Amino acid sequence: MEDKKNRDTTSRSWLLTLPAEVYTKDYVIEQLGMYAFVAGQLEKGNDTDYIHWQLMVEHSGPIRFSTLRNKFPKGHFDMRRGTAQQVYDYVTKSDTSLGETIEIGEYDFTSYQGKRNDLWRYRDLIMEGWTPDEIIIAPENPSAYIHRNHLIALYEVFKKDMYSKVERDIEVNYLYGPTGVGKTRHIYDNCNDFYRVTAYKNPFDDYEAQTTLVLDEFAGQMELDLVLNVLDRYPLRLPCRYRDKWACYEKVWIVSNLAPDEVYDVWIESERLKAFRRRLHNVYCMVAPGELVAE
């Protein structure tokens, strides 16, 4: 399945399927030439006669699903499963080849071979964009659960490396309206990888790097100073009881029965209220089920 309903995950290793009738060899090379290693071929499906480019992409840094989707809107993308050698063999298999190949850069397929253990493999999966839970539930990792604490620690280090040094391009949406019109339903229908806050005591304890943050039933329960930081683009460690977590989201939905100007008391100094309002890129009022009015 293609990346969990288009969840904007990141990985250093991707498998691409691109329709040849849409993307020429020159275009593919131009779009993928910046990555460390690209290999694959033009092939024809045995059963479907579908002519396509089958490619593996490896890079030193993480590549976003959305980046690949922007380059190839008609393509199909999966994070690599299995070893690099297994995927290379798959994208260069002879029985479907049409003789046209692409290879950019070099890759050391001997790295760690013969001396890898499970922890090394789990480390690589995390570097490729897997979460600890995804590793644990994967059938090929039956013993992963006993390393759960280690996986979480690795994951936090990986996220720190990714998100402690860069600004995020955050889009903040404010959705309000009366009860019963389907505001939360709208989120479920239009967002895939989201973390929903409904209890505002320790709200980020269970956050696990989801790409969308939803502050539901919001009525000013969170201190305005914290909200201003949560909605800002700068690197942020979200306060948690046991271990603070790096903010990875790039989209925020605030869902409320109140209009933006009503969620905080009027005694709060006007400049801070203006700062809150400036952080809202889009404000929508749901006046009836499924009917949004942009303000």
Residue pointed to by tokens 């800002």: 232
Pair 128, 227 in one domain: no
**pLDDT, position 9:** 75
Beta strand 37-44 pairing with 97-105: antiparallel
Pair 131, 176 in one domain: no
Pair 269, 188 in one domain: yes
Average pLDDT per consecutive 10 residues, the chain (295 residues; last block may be shorter): 51 92 95 93 85 93 89 92 84 90 85 59 82 86 82 82 84 95 91 90 90 94 94 94 88 96 78 91 92 88
**pLDDT, position 143:** 82
Pair 11, 96 in one domain: yes
**pLDDT, position 1:** 35
Pair 157, 206 in one domain: no
**pLDDT, position 217:** 95
Pair 63, 11 in one domain: yes
In this structure, what CATH number is given to the domain that contains residue 64? 3.40.1310.20
**pLDDT, position 264:** 87
**pLDDT, position 49:** 82
Pair 102, 146 in one domain: no
Pair 106, 132 in one domain: no
Pair 190, 287 in one domain: yes
**pLDDT, position 4:** 40
pTM of the prediction? 0.59
Residue finishing a domain among 163, 190, 225? 163
Domain encompassing residue 255:
171-294
Residue finishing a domain among 69, 96, 111? 111
State the total domains in the chain.
3
